[in-house]
Amino acid sequence: MPVSPGPAFTPAAAAGSWETTPTSPPAYTLPPPSQGLPAWLVTALVALVLIGGGALGLYVYKGGGLSASNRGAEENTKLLSPEEAAKSGRTNPYAKYIEITGIRILETPKKQLEVRLAVVNHSLAQLPDLTLNVRLRSTKASPGEAPIAAFNVKVPSMAPLETRDVKTITTTRYRAYELPDWQFLTADFNVEK
């Protein structure tokens, strides 16, 4: 069977159908720059905010910003006279840097009361050898109640921010097992001169 020739194939016609016609790229235009605040206005606003913040800080620092409750507490605060300060037991300048903590009470084999304390130096300076007159009280004791025990303890020189463990033997009308536990004891003290 003879084959009939079909339409003539021309490479130019085929090539033209696959080719795209060159087009120019789309034209983009930039938006106009936004119109913000002028530089001089921004500078003035920043200066006003900084000056206002500084003035507010000084006002609060100088005490003008105290609340009514704080003002009342400040008005009730008074300086102690030397006699009142001596009664409070904090006349020695070292006393404000010392803390007594870690109170432990033991009974020795001779039935004596041994008190162990941790004395903390909270200052950034070395403290010399000190003698502390310590009074142990219950946290539940009334203000006029006699201390559970009173004793003197010698504390060797302490480096800045150092803690020293000290112990002493004392007497009391109680046995060691009759005394309050450590969390119910406080230690008032004077620094002897």
| pLDDT value at residue 35 | 78
| pLDDT value at residue 79 | 46
| pLDDT value at residue 74 | 46
| pLDDT value at residue 77 | 46
Which residues lie across from 119 on neighbouring strands? Answer: 100, 164
C-alpha dihedral, 105 to 109 to 113 to 119, nearest 10°: -50
| pLDDT value at residue 9 | 55
Per DSSP, 186 falls in state E
Q: Residue ranges per domain, the chain?
A: 37-77, 89-192
Per the prediction, the chain carries an average pLDDT of 78
| pLDDT value at residue 81 | 47
Q: What is the pLDDT of residues 77-123, one digit of tens each?
A: 454 444 555 555 457 888 889 999 999 888 888 888 889 999 999 99
| pLDDT value at residue 118 | 94
Class of domain 89-192: mainly beta
Q: What is the pTM of this model?
A: 0.51
- pLDDT at residue 70 tops 80: no
Q: In the structure, what pLDDT confidence band is assigned to residue 160 with cuts at 50, 70 and 90?
A: very high
Strand 113-121 vs strand 98-107: parallel, antiparallel, or unpaired? antiparallel
| pLDDT value at residue 73 | 45
Q: Greater confidence, 175 or 187?
A: 187
Q: What angle do CA 149, 154, 155 make, to 5 degrees?
A: 115
How much is the average pLDDT of 166-189?
85
| pLDDT value at residue 22 | 65
How much is the average pLDDT of 30-50?
87
Q: In the structure, what pLDDT confidence band is assigned to residue 155 with cuts at 50, 70 and 90?
A: very high
Residue 14 main-chain phi, psi, to 5 deg: -70, -40
| Cα of 121 vs its chain's centroid, Å | 19
Q: Greater confidence, 54 or 63?
A: 54
